[in-house]
Amino acid sequence: MSTLFTPSSHCHQHLNGFFKCFITMLTNVLTFVVFHLCLALSVSGQSPLKFLRRFEKLDYDSSSVSSAHARFKRSIDSRSDPFPITISLKYLDKTFKLKLKPDSSSFSSSHAFDENGKKKNVDLSFLFDGQVEGESNSYVYGSLIDGVFDGHIHIKDNVYHVEKIVKYDVNQLKPAYHSIIYSDDDIKFEKLRVKRHVDSSASSSCGLHGRVRRTMQRFQRSAVVEEPQLFTYGSGHQWTGASRNADEAMQPWRKYVEKVHRDDEELSDRWKRSADGLYDVRTCTLYMQADQKLWEFVYNHEGQRNSERTRNEILSLFNSHIKAVNTIYEGTNFNGIKGINFVVQRTTIFDNNTCPSIVTPDSGNPFCEENVDVSNFLNLNSIKNHSDFCLAYALTYRDFVGGTLGLAWVASPQPSEHTSGGICEIYKPYSEGSRRVRRSLNTGIITLVNYHNRVPPKVSQLTLAHEIGHNFGSPHDYPPFCQPGLPDGNYIMFASATSGDKVNNNKFSICSVNNISSVLHEVLRQNPNMPRLGSSAKRNCFKRRETSFCGNALVEDGEECDCGFNQQECRQRGDSCCYPRTHGGEAKGCTRVEGVQCSPSEGVCCNKSCQFITSSAHFLCRQATECSTDQYCKGNQPGCPLPDAKPNGTRCQDNTKVCNRGVMQFL
């Protein structure tokens, strides 16, 4: 090796050739260094990604997976396998066999997509979820594009992340692998350069501190009280005849959103209030936007300079973030309010062709300004009318000063405080100096870059959960007992970003739970369809959920049983036969305990001993009506048998009606 660094005697003897020899020597040195650096990366497994301690390379045959995906799509109407796609991944000494099925439940069934302001139909069949074979309480979600899986694997308390290597600037290494897999423990949080203390001069991953917080609070208290106007769920301003038709012509997506609201109104008579007076609506609808900065970055990386692929990659990014946020919020008991979840109602992707743009409350790209700080970027998102949604978020790829990753308006629990903002807030006027401006304060923003480096998805997902926590009414965690630090880590609403690998990083502190609960109680006690007069009262814009929820004591699709959210609720119901949503074991929630026949949550013909009630017990499970007979448990099912109808033509209800197939009808 030493001879490589020593000029030859020929170079010493011929001065004129010295520089030529020097260049030759320097070239040899650089070749040696680069070769051994690349060799070290490939042999030792050191990470070319600054935020990882280690990762495993994945180079499975993506073409065979892509072929399986294509075959499944062609035969989708005749499919019988609940998990048609299987992929095996290796991480250290583990092998994860992913069993995947299509799942686009993060997006509403009436999801409206527009690109550059034009509505388009999108195929979401590249989104999947599933489980790991042999891991009963596992959960997998992500996307499958060209046979390459990109997503997240939850096994017990461990989370593993699978990412395309082209997401990061490693093209100069020309890796022979298409993906990497790493765990939460592999993330080097210190490389994100985000400090872990909160004051006005500190670098904080959340922009809500010091001067910015005070400025936002003043603006939130400056709402201008207008003459009372009729405001119903689904309309950002008062509409009448011609103006509404003009709006629909200009905004083709709006009629799709309104259809959902009309459907909800038809179901309003089925909405129920719980014992504490809260309506049983738990879904917060989202408007998700990607600005041209994010589009450009994705286009040049995982989008592979293809517009359609870029669109799908951004939709995949939205999906993974909402899945992660739902995992957190659905798993939290907000002082009796359970099952809070999010669904994407509308998405907009702005590309470089949308700038410059003329921006109105209902159209145009508001994010064209090139150099803007985090508070002004939030203001740009708030310029447009977002009253049709619970929350409206914009994702970007802008490197904000101080390592700031997000910012959002904070909700206040009491309308008497005259502080606007947060979930369900409407588009209305505020005082800005001597001007009157209209803003939507049900908004937030996050960025995916920190000091020139793309942040790990775990961090951006927790950032979104954090900013939504502000929208739901939680300030940053305080006092000190809600900022415990190590060893268990800080909670979600700590001001600086967390890596996600500590026990508390994915949880809300009791301080946050209490703050969010106060806002939710104020919102959910309002009738979701009650017209709103003026701008002082809270609005309930939540919807009924479209998917099943383990923990609500209702047996729904995909569940064997459902005794409640936790073990205490199950005990109160006398059900020891079913695993609750949260418990200390490894079994999946809402499944029967091994060896039992049934759970009382499945029906009245299952007893507390987890056995079917036999026919010999003569247990009356349904009383007779004028058109049907008594029904008794038969010992072969947990539910009460269907009623037997009395003969057609049987007179009933004081001879004013007759029975027909067990139902009363007028004569």
Alpha-carbon gap, residue 628 to 650, rounded angstroms: 10
Indicate left, alpha or beta for 51 from its phi (over 0: left) and psi (-120 to 50: alpha). Answer: alpha
Catalytic residue among 467, 522, 569, 602: 467
The separation between CA 609 and the C-alpha centre of its own chain, rounded to angstroms, equals: 39
User: Using omega within 30 degrees of 0 as the cis cutoff, is the peptide bond preceding 638 cis?
Assistant: no
Tokens of 655: 């001879």
Alpha-carbon gap, residue 507 to 334, rounded angstroms: 12
User: Is-catalytic flag, 467?
Assistant: yes
Alpha-carbon gap, residue 163 to 187, rounded angstroms: 13
Tokens of 364: 């145009």
Q: Which residue has the tokens 């908004």?
A: 443
Q: Which residues pair with 622 in a beta bridge?
A: 631
Q: Which residue has the tokens 């299509």?
A: 102
Q: Is residue 87 a contact partner of residue 150, using CB atoms and an 8 Å limit?
A: no
- DSSP annotation string for 209-245: SHHHHHHHHHHHTTBPPPSP-EE-TT-SS---HHHHH
Q: Which residue has the tokens 């119903």?
A: 232
Compute the half-sphere exposure of residue 661: CA atoms within 13 Å on the CB side of its CA: 0
Judged by DSSP in three states, 64 sits in helix
Judged by DSSP in three states, 130 sits in strand
Alpha-carbon gap, residue 291 to 294, rounded angstroms: 6
Give the number of residues written for the chain.
667
DSSP 8-state symbol, 363: B
Alpha-carbon gap, residue 543 to 75, rounded angstroms: 34
* H helix and E strand count, the chain: 12, 26
User: Using omega within 30 degrees of 0 as the cis cutoff, is the peptide bond preceding 487 cis?
Assistant: yes
Handedness of CA 419, 421, 424, 426 (dihedral sign): positive
Alpha-carbon gap, residue 142 to 150, rounded angstroms: 6
Nearest to 146 by CA among 179, 119, 188: 179
> Using CB atoms within 10 A of its CB, is residue 6 exposed (0-12), middle (13-18) or buried (19+)?
exposed
Question: Would you report the helix, strand and coil content of the chain in percent, each value rounded to 5?
Answer: 30, 20, 50
Q: How far is CA 157 from CA 363, 506, 534, in A?
A: 44, 11, 47
506-517 residues labelled b (16+ CB within 10 A) or e (exposed): bbbbebbbbbbb
Task: List active site positions.
Answer: 467
